[in-house]
Amino acid sequence: MSSLAAQLTALLPSATVLEPGESTSAYAHDESLLGSYPPHAIVLASSASDVQKVLTYAQSMRLPVVPRGAGSGKSGGAVPERGGIVVSLERMNRILEISPADGVAVVEPGVILETLQNAVEDQGLFYPPDPNSQAICTIGGNLAHNAGGPRALKYGVTKDYVLGLEAVLPTGELIKCGHRSWKGVAGYDLTQLLVGSEGTLAVITQATLKLIPLPRRAETLLAFFSSEDDAARGCQAVFAAGLLPRACELLDATVMQAVSGRAPFKFPEGVGGGLIVEFDGLDEGVMQEVVRAGEACQQAHALDVIVAQDESQRRRIWETRRMISPSLKAMRPDKLSEDVCVPRGRLVELIRAVRGIGKKHGLLTACYGHAGDGNLHVNLLFGSPEERKTSAAAVDEVIEAALSLGGTITGEHGVGMAKRGFVTRELGGEQIALQKRLKAAFDPHNILNPGKIFP
Ligand SMILES: Cc1cc2nc3c(=O)[nH]c(=O)nc-3n(C[C@H](O)[C@H](O)[C@H](O)COP(=O)(O)OP(=O)(O)OC[C@H]3O[C@@H](n4cnc5c(N)ncnc54)[C@H](O)[C@@H]3O)c2cc1C
CATH number at residue 145: 3.30.465.10
Among protein residues, the one with the nearest Cα to ligand 1's atom 13 is 131
Task: Tell me the CA end-to-end span of the chain in Å, nearest whole number.
Answer: 35
- Consecutive sets of 10 residues in the chain, 455 residues long: mean pLDDT of each? 92 95 94 94 98 98 98 98 98 98 98 98 98 96 97 98 98 98 97 98 98 96 97 98 98 96 91 98 91 98 96 94 93 93 96 96 96 96 91 94 98 97 97 98 98 96
Q: Which helix (H) or strand (E) holds 374?
A: none
Angle between helices 311-322 and 324-331 (to 10 degrees): 40
Measured from the CB, is residue 140 less than 6 Å from ligand 1? yes
Q: Which of 47, 108, 133 to mutate to test the pocket of ligand 1 (most atoms within 8 A of CB)?
A: 133
Q: Atom 2 of ligand 1 has which residue's CA nearest to it?
A: 133
Per-residue pLDDT reduced to its tens digit, 339-362:
999 999 999 999 999 999 999 999
What is the tens place of the pLDDT at every residue in 2-40?
Answer: 899 999 999 999 999 999 998 999 999 999 989 999 999
Q: Domain check: are 225 and 311 in the same one?
A: yes
Domain-ending residue, one of 306, 325, 344: 325
Q: From 180, 213, 246, give the residue that closes a domain.
A: 213
Q: State how many domains the chain has.
A: 4
* Alpha carbons 359 and 268: distance in angstroms, whole number: 26
166 inside domain: yes
Tell me the CATH number at 20: 3.30.43.10
Hey, what long-range contacts does 94-98 have (CB within 8 A, 24 or more apart)? 95/119, 96/206, 98/123, 98/125, 98/211
127 and 59 share one domain:
no
Residues 166 and 114 in one domain: yes
Which domain range does residue 287 map to? 217-325
- Asked if 208 and 240 sit in the same domain, the reply is no
**127: in domain:** yes
Say whether both 185 and 230 belong to one domain. no
Among residues 213, 244, 264, the one where a domain terminates is 213
141 CB less than 6 Å from ligand 1? yes
Question: How far does residue 70's CA lie from ligand 1's centre (Å)?
Answer: 7
Decide: 413 in ligand 1 pocket, CB within 6 A. Answer: yes
Distance 157 CA to ligand 1 centre (A): 13
Ligand 1 atom at minimal distance to the Cα of residue 449: 47
| Pocket lining: 107 vs ligand 1, CB cutoff 6 Å | no
258-282 residue pLDDT tens: 999 898 888 999 999 999 999 999 8
Phi, psi torsion values for 336, nearest 5 degrees: -100, 130
Q: What is the pTM of this model?
A: 0.96
